[in-house]
Amino acid sequence: MFHDLFTTPSKSRKLPKSIPVTLSTRIRLARNLREFPFPGRAETSQKRAVLTKCMDALSVVKGLSDSFSVEVDDLSELDRQILVEKHLISPELSQVEEGSGIVLSEDRNCCIMINEEDHLRIQVLRPGLDFGSVWKLADALDTGIESAISYAYDGELGFLTACPTNLGTGMRASVMMHLPGLVMSKNMDKVINAVNQLGIAVRGLFGEGSDANGSIFQISNQQTLGESETAIIERLDSTLKNIVRQENFAREKLLQDDGVRLMDKMSRAVGNLKTCYLMQSSEAMDCLSLVRLASDFGMLPEKYRNLADRMFIEVQPGHVQLSAGKPVEAGFRDSLRAELLRKEFLRAPQIDPSPAAG
């Protein structure tokens, strides 16, 4: 099965250490073929023609020669769920029944969706805050694909897309951020309102309409028309750096104003993860968020930040079933999730309050 490839380690270089606040960086480019209607208006035969043309073109693009390719309707429901949880495909693509496909690079840092809302959605993801290398790779892939496919492009409007909000560069640059300080200090709504005025969108863990479980937010540009890719990235990067400063200030203020209560929350989270026998994914996310926060404060070893980041994905329903090797009912998933967390946090130490005192 397609999800079997996720049970073996990637051959990519060793991942960088996780950092406070910023979990990952993503750039997504929307592109369409000039000679075909958009997927939402295409006949099944036209979608299949697009799928074949794109698959053939992608197979010879530098960086994708050893990639995995699959049609969406050949994937099980569990396969699709796992790919959504890894942020490799959109929830929308997971619901498509015919004429769509996925090309996933060997290092799993790049996933190209075929016949989602647009003919092509080119996505590059990396841990941490890394717009430079992410944009460089996305641009190189885009150039390679364009050498084999004629894009729908207008001299004034830029890249033509199914939704007008993607018109122009067709680019969405986004960062996944961990913002418990702003959430606990009840300042997150103010930040969202402020950045919305700057043309920046704030969404939940799995994008539009999803919840921000674990105080994790996806922050991205809204404007794609009238700005270059470089200008969009620079403007977003400046906004994100300001959010990081506000988050760090909120954390320090929480520690100063009510440090005992905050340390109690973090300590209880570690205790819950070490001893739980039933845990829903939302509760797990909240506990892992507090573990990550404790590591950022230096109250837990740094390796627990890395562990929290890995568990953010592995506690999701699809991944719990992947670990079990079969589909599992929701109630039993809570038991399996708890078993996984007990094992991973078995040797977790108590919270060390001394960094706060310093």
**Domain locations in the chain?**
1-17+26-168, 258-352
Q: Could you confirm whether domain 1-17+26-168 is CATH 3.30.590.10?
A: yes
**Mean pLDDT of the residues in the chain:** 91
Helix-helix angle 281-297:330-344, to 10 degrees = 20
| pLDDT at residue 90 in the model | 92
**Per-residue pLDDT at 353 exceeds 90:** no
Strand partners, 168: 159
- Residue 243's pLDDT band, with cuts at 50, 70 and 90, is very high
**Residues 6 or more apart whose Cβ sits within 8 Å of residue 261:** none
pLDDT, one tens digit per residue, over 114-149 is 999 999 999 999 998 889 999 999 999 999 999 999
Looking at residue 17, what is its pLDDT?
A: 78
Digit-coded pLDDT (tens) for 158-189: 999 999 999 999 999 999 999 999 999 999 99
The pLDDT score that the predictor gives to residue 7 is 55
Residues 6+ apart with CB under 8 A from 115: 39, 42, 47, 50, 51, 96, 99, 100, 101
Partnered with residue 112 across adjacent β-strands are 103, 122
The confidence score (pLDDT) of residue 313 equals 94
pLDDT value, residue 49: 96
Strand-pair partners of 159? 153, 168
35-94 per-position pLDDT tens digit: 999 999 999 999 999 999 999 999 888 878 788 999 999 999 999 999 999 999 999 999
- Cβ neighbours around 28 below 10 Å, total: 21
Average pLDDT over residues 30-34: 97
Single-letter code of the amino acid located at 96: V
pLDDT in tens, 82-115: 999 999 999 999 998 789 999 999 888 899 999 9
CB 126 within 8 A of CB 153: no
| Band of pLDDT at residue 16, cut at 50, 70 and 90 | low
- How high is the pLDDT of residue 107? 86
Hey, which bits of 204-352 come out as E strands?
216-221
256-281 confidence digits (pLDDT tens): 999 999 999 999 999 999 999 999 99
Q: How confident is the model at residue 358 (pLDDT cuts 50, 70, 90)?
A: low
Q: What is the pLDDT of residue 213?
A: 87
Distance CA 203, CA 196 (A): 11
208 pLDDT band, cuts 50/70/90, is low
Contacts with 125 (C-beta within 8 Å, 6 or more apart), sequence order: 24, 25, 26, 87, 88, 109, 110, 111, 134
Question: In which residue are the tokens 């991205």 written?
Answer: 220
pLDDT at position 348, please? 95
With H, G, I as helix, E, B as strand and everything else as coil, classify residue 34. Answer: coil
Q: Report d(CA 136, CA 143) in Å as an integer.
A: 11
